[in-house]
Structure 1
């Protein structure tokens, strides 16, 4: 932080702020978030390097540029200018966005699957949740299509898990934090544990 305060030119400040790109930082974030985007739960590393993302944008909050709790791993789409970018809505505008490092997303977001339409959606259950969903584009077309394909498979596995121990093990594994779209796997597993019929009726957390 002292180096940042002493940087007098634009180039000097950029040099200091770029230190967060160090590979050790990236590797630690990949491990912490299991190689998934902290926002949309998609695996990143098999198709991209991923972004070291500042929850509070460094352009607006430069003093938090090196704060570990302010860093997350994000995909280039969630973190791109079309979605989060440098956006950080204030409370008056429905913010702040959810902090995946410090908050339970399930407190503000509802994870829903409709077996009739075979669509897996993320909905806001609070004002902040709604703002987060819209800002990050958590229901953007390409993401929802890909996510729904995976959750459709999990729904079938959950149906089999009622009587099949191997299917139950697969569902338990899918609900692990290290797995893609684990929030939806937990939705299906909770329904199974509560004895809720996995029929044609929509499920939501």
Structure 2
């Protein structure tokens, strides 16, 4: 991310957060929270003094985040790096995605090469089924930011649409592609795409649940609620 910093204040603020994440007292998760939602006094522990930012640093962090978002949207073409569905104002809700989780790899928290775009669905399932084992078992799904990565080497995607129905099918072609399909619940994406296109009531419910999930994922402390929403939505589409 340092390559995107345009001012000395931005570089200094980013360097400070990186050092706090790697050397303590912040974790990768709390350091990222300071970056993504900067406040003048961030209290991460009741028994420790807060992390304080002045007005110039707050402005610098907000400016730098916009640069990061713009860079990732352009690089990913406004699509989720895992399922390739469109995200943003006219697509699904999304988050900046750490391919190697910041909780386990604090040194990669602010590495631009570790960041991409993840829709709320893939983000939640990856956090629940992939991230916790990455430190000991390695990354078990596709690595969309790896050098030379080609999505088609691991997953073939077919997307057909008419005025009346929309059809999406993922066909894994590698071991990591199959793991991605299974662990990130791509079968649910296939079901939901068809059902949403033919059932307006379920489509409206799906949108409301996606909005709720996006709000929940903004708070790391609500991960259990996010997992519950994902499971509930999955069961709805299996019944549908």
Query: TM-score, normalized by length of structure 1?
Result: 0.56
Q: Unaligned 5+ residue runs, structure 2?
A: 1-17, 37-64, 161-165, 198-240
Query: Is the counterpart of residue 2 in structure 1 residue 19 in structure 2?
Result: yes
Paired residues, number? 144
- Displacement of 1:141 in angstroms is 4.4
Query: Is the counterpart of residue 131 in structure 1 residue 131 in structure 2?
Result: no
- Displacement of 1:148 in angstroms is 10
In the alignment, the residues of structure 1 paired with residue 22 and residue 70 of structure 2 have an alpha-carbon distance, to the nearest angstrom, of: 27
In the alignment, the residues of structure 1 paired with residue 140 and residue 35 of structure 2 have an alpha-carbon distance, to the nearest angstrom, of: 23
Q: Unaligned 5+ residue runs, structure 1?
A: 150-205
Determine if contact 2:85/2:92 at 8 Å carries over to the other structure: no
Determine if contact 1:120/1:148 at 8 Å carries over to the other structure: no
Relative to structure 1, the CA distance from residue 52 to residue 3 in structure 2 (aligned partners, 3 Å threshold; closer, same or farther) is same
> RCO higher in 1 or 2 (8 Å CA, sep ≥ 6)?
1
In the alignment, the residues of structure 2 paired with residue 30 and residue 50 of structure 1 have an alpha-carbon distance, to the nearest angstrom, of: 10
- Displacement of 1:70 in angstroms is 0.8
Query: Is the counterpart of residue 104 in structure 1 residue 186 in structure 2?
Result: no
In the alignment, the residues of structure 1 paired with residue 151 and residue 195 of structure 2 have an alpha-carbon distance, to the nearest angstrom, of: 17
- Displacement of 1:132 in angstroms is 0.9
In the alignment, the residues of structure 1 paired with residue 137 and residue 30 of structure 2 have an alpha-carbon distance, to the nearest angstrom, of: 33
In the alignment, the residues of structure 1 paired with residue 74 and residue 195 of structure 2 have an alpha-carbon distance, to the nearest angstrom, of: 22
In the alignment, the residues of structure 2 paired with residue 41 and residue 147 of structure 1 have an alpha-carbon distance, to the nearest angstrom, of: 19
In the alignment, the residues of structure 1 paired with residue 67 and residue 170 of structure 2 have an alpha-carbon distance, to the nearest angstrom, of: 32
Root-mean-square deviation (CA, aligned residues, Å) is: 3.6
In the alignment, the residues of structure 2 paired with residue 33 and residue 124 of structure 1 have an alpha-carbon distance, to the nearest angstrom, of: 20
Determine if contact 1:54/1:71 at 8 Å carries over to the other structure: yes
Relative to structure 1, the CA distance from residue 136 to residue 5 in structure 2 (aligned partners, 3 Å threshold; closer, same or farther) is same
Query: TM-score, normalized by length of structure 2?
Result: 0.49
